[in-house]
């Protein structure tokens, strides 16, 4: 457990310790005869309560709980109920529940062996006290106290009679085994969860498929202490087989993709009903025969599975044992992972179950990396095609037209000098327009890295740059102080404002533009308003209504859908338009 988990565990145990002691104090107050009115028992109980309170205070002030401190507290928890039990009246011991508490504490802190050891220590203390009654040690202590005018112990030996103590001892030991076993299982589940989470975390898009497989393979080799790992994958449609090998030596680890061979299928992908198995050579070690433990896809053990599925693997690699597990990535890839000479810490069947579950959990994460990389490549190709089309249909065509006009103007300049000034002005306007288009295209190609802290400043800069480059009066207003907005939402809203301003310049013929950002009724709101010629409809339409009539800016509508927002357009032909984008603030949970 981490240091934080250890502190939380100790705090819970400290609270439970004080609660049990206070409950015992209340029970004794209601019936003081339970401890024969002994002042020594009251003193022990008060000391135990004070100890519990001090432990709570200590844990709240200190950031760490050391192993020696926990061991010292645990030892006191074992000794105290054994000592105070000598004051309990009759066979029904009021303080026997504290033995159960200390067993639960050992299980909660550690595991099986520590819990059983605690049970044995508690039983040993009880039998030592029983012997002390038998040998007269308690009577001697009472005599010593009376001699010096001190209160007698007022103890009761009934609880320590051997015939009753045998069953209590068996009860404590059996309970220790049960609680320890449950704690051990919990520890194993927690450890498996940590391993699976760490391995899934290796699946990173930026590392790519090959980098992700390398990191996961290195984790598996480290986890099982194997000498070699073989990763064999086959593309379902083309039947192509790819083999990767990770080997560990004194110089370090080496990961490489092997050259494809025609015998790869026979070597690695021989048919077998086993989805996971562990094969180990016989006692001779060189006769080629393997003893096999196998599981099917559901994790059920399979008997009488042949080791023929290993194919030519024993001929190609030297190993004494091998662990294999199959995997499937979507409907496209399937394959196997081989771990040569793994070191197993537990039972074979449990190790196979865990490896199967690990691969089942990690598989979708790796497949998602593959899909995302593929999607990025396709998106990049689409973007490149779009930019090429924009350049071809826009800047290139305009420059060709300008070249032709300049050539015509050059030929006519001698005969018609009056046309030169007019035509040059028109050409200058065309060039200015194309420069603006190229700048907008370059701006769209840039990666937009913006978060909540920089969003308002970026929007303001975008509006000011728009005014400088176009000459259209533009203003940005916002009544927001600090934003708590996820980065994906920030990025899309910034792109929406940029796209809206491009549309204003291209289509609206506006003289003034106003961009506002605000928050109202649990939503963020962005408004872009201009006094241009408006959209080819009149009135206020929602996004669904715009989709039904096929109107509205497509790019902005798609970006609004990405962030689960709502687009509303209010248009008055000849007098301007207003775009209103609202995004619920709960997106902080969705995108966060």
Average pLDDT over residues 573-592: 74
Pick the last residue of a domain from 370, 403, 426.
370
- Pick from 377, 388, 373: nearest CA to 445: 388
Tokens 């001699």, residue located: 147
Q: What is the pLDDT of residue 589?
A: 39
Q: Are residues 48 and 120 in the same domain?
A: yes
Q: How confident is the model at residue 175 (pLDDT cuts 50, 70, 90)?
A: very high
Contact, 176 vs 168, CB < 8 A? Answer: no
- CATH code for the domain in which residue 267 is found: 3.30.450
pLDDT above 90 as % of the chain: 11
Q: Are residues 193 and 206 in the same domain?
A: no
pLDDT at 590 over 60: no
Q: Are residues 177 and 223 in the same domain?
A: no
pLDDT at 475 over 90: yes
The per-residue pLDDT of the chain, averaged, comes to 81
Report yes or no on 403 lying in a domain.
no
Q: Are residues 63 and 173 in the same domain?
A: yes
Residue 575 tokens read as 């007098």
Average pLDDT over residues 63-84: 83
- Pick from 12, 172, 191: nearest CA to 108: 12
Q: How confident is the model at residue 269 (pLDDT cuts 50, 70, 90)?
A: confident
pLDDT at 45 over 60: yes
What is the residue range of 233's domain?
202-370
Contact, 182 vs 107, CB < 8 A? Answer: yes
In tens, the pLDDT along 228-260 reads 899 998 888 778 888 999 988 777 788 888 888
Contacts 24+ apart (CB under 8 A), 95-102: 95/24, 96/168, 97/20, 98/20, 99/172, 100/175, 101/16, 101/17, 101/20, 101/77, 102/74, 102/77, 102/78
Q: Are residues 27 and 165 in the same domain?
A: yes
Average pLDDT over residues 273-290: 75
Choice between 5 and 580, residue whose per-residue pLDDT is larger: 580
Report yes or no on 419 lying in a domain.
no
Report yes or no on 492 lying in a domain.
yes
- CATH code for the domain in which residue 566 is found: 3.30.565.10
Q: Are residues 21 and 158 in the same domain?
A: yes
pLDDT at 515 over 90: yes
pLDDT above 70 as % of the chain: 83
pLDDT at 445 over 60: no
Report yes or no on 417 lying in a domain.
no
Q: What is the pLDDT of residue 567?
A: 92
Q: What is the pLDDT of residue 143?
A: 77
Q: What is the pLDDT of residue 310?
A: 80
pTM of the model: 0.55
Q: What is the pLDDT of residue 46?
A: 83
Choice between 167 and 3, residue whose per-residue pLDDT is larger: 167
Pick the last residue of a domain from 316, 345, 370.
370
Report yes or no on 355 lying in a domain.
yes
Q: Are residues 193 and 219 in the same domain?
A: no
Report yes or no on 378 lying in a domain.
no
Report yes or no on 187 lying in a domain.
yes
Q: What is the pLDDT of residue 387?
A: 66
pLDDT at 444 over 80: no
pLDDT at 591 over 50: no
Q: How confident is the model at residue 90 (pLDDT cuts 50, 70, 90)?
A: low
Q: Are residues 183 and 261 in the same domain?
A: no
Q: How confident is the model at residue 28 (pLDDT cuts 50, 70, 90)?
A: confident
Q: Are residues 313 and 329 in the same domain?
A: yes
Q: In which element (H, E) is residue 253 found?
A: strand 252-257
Q: What is the pLDDT of residue 173?
A: 92
Report yes or no on 126 lying in a domain.
yes
Contact, 80 vs 98, CB < 8 A? Answer: yes
Q: Are residues 176 and 163 in the same domain?
A: yes
Q: Are residues 134 and 229 in the same domain?
A: no
Q: How confident is the model at residue 77 (pLDDT cuts 50, 70, 90)?
A: confident
pLDDT at 184 over 90: no
Q: What is the pLDDT of residue 588?
A: 42
Pick the last residue of a domain from 197, 227, 245.
197
Q: What is the pLDDT of residue 396?
A: 61
Q: Are residues 95 and 180 in the same domain?
A: yes
Average pLDDT over residues 435-439: 65
Number of domains the chain is built from = 3
């Amino acid at each position: 457990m981490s240091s934080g988990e250890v502190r939380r565990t100790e705090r819970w145990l400290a609270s439970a310790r004080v609660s049990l002691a206070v409950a015992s104090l209340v029970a004794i107050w209601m019936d003081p005869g339970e401890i024969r009115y002994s002042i020594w028992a009251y003193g022990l109980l008060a000391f135990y309560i004070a100890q519990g309170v001090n432990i709570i205070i200590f844990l709240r002030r200190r950031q760490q709980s050391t192993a020696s401190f926990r061991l010292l507290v645990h030892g006191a928890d074992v000794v105290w109920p054994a000592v105070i039990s000598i004051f309990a009246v009759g066979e029904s011991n009021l303080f026997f529940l504290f033995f159960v508490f200390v067993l639960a504490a050992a299980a909660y802190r550690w595991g099986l062996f520590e819990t059983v050891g605690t049970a044995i220590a508690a039983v040993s203390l009880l039998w030592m006290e029983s012997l002390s009654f038998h040998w007269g040690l308690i009577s001697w202590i009472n005599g010593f106290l009376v001699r010096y005018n001190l209160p007698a112990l007022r103890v009761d030996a009934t609880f320590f009679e051997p015939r009753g103590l045998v069953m209590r001892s068996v009860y404590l030991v059996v309970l220790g085994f049960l609680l320890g076993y449950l704690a051990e299982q919990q520890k194993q589940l927690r450890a498996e969860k940590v391993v699976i989470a760490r391995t899934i975390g290796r699946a990173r898009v930026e590392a790519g498929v090959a980098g992700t497989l390398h990191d996961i393979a290195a984790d598996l080799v480290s986890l099982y202490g194997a000498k070699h790992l073989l990763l064999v994958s086959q593309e379902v449609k083309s039947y192509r087989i790819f083999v990767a090998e990770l080997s560990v030596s004194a110089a370090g680890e080496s990961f490489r993709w092997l050259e494809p061979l025609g015998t790869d299928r026979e070597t690695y992908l021989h048919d077998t009903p086993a989805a996971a198995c562990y094969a180990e050579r016989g006692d001779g070690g060189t006769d080629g025969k393997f003893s096999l433990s196998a599981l099917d896809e559901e994790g059920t053990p399979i008997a009488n599975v042949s080791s023929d599925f290993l194919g030519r693997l024993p001929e190609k690699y030297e190993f004494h044992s091998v662990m294999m597990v199959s995997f499937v990535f979507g409907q496209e890839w399937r394959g196997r992972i081989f771990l040569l000479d793994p070191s197993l810490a537990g039972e074979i069947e449990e190790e196979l179950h865990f490896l199967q579950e690990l691969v089942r959990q990690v598989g979708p994460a790796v497949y998602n990396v593959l899909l995302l990389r593929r999607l990025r490549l396709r998106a990049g190709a689409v973007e490149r095609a779009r930019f090429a089309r924009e350049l071809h249909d826009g800047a290139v065509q305009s420059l060709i037209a300008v070249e032709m006009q300049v050539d015509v103007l050059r030929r006519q300049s001698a005969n018609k000098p009056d046309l030169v000034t007019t035509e040059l002005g028109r050409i200058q306007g065309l060039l200015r327009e194309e420069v603006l288009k190229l700048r907008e295209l370059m701006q769209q190609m840039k990666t937009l890295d913006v978060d909540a802290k920089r969003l308002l400043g970026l929007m303001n800069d975008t509006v000011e740059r728009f005014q400088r480059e176009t000459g259209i009066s533009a203003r940005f207003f916002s009544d927001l102080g600090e934003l708590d907005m996820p980065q994906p939402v920030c990025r899309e809203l910034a792109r929406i404002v940029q796209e809206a301003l491009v549309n204003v310049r291209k289509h609206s013929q506006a003289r003034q533009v106003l961009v506002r950002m605000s928050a109202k009724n649990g939503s963020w709101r962005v408004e872009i308003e201009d006094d241009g010629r408006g959209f080819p409809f009149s009135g206020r339409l929602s996004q669904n209504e715009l989709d039904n009539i096929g109107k509205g800016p497509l790019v902005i509508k798609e970006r609004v859908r990405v962030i689960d927002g709502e687009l509303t357009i209010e248009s008055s032909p000849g007098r301007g338009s207003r775009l209103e984008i609202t995004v619920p603030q709960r997106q902080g949970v969705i995108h966060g």
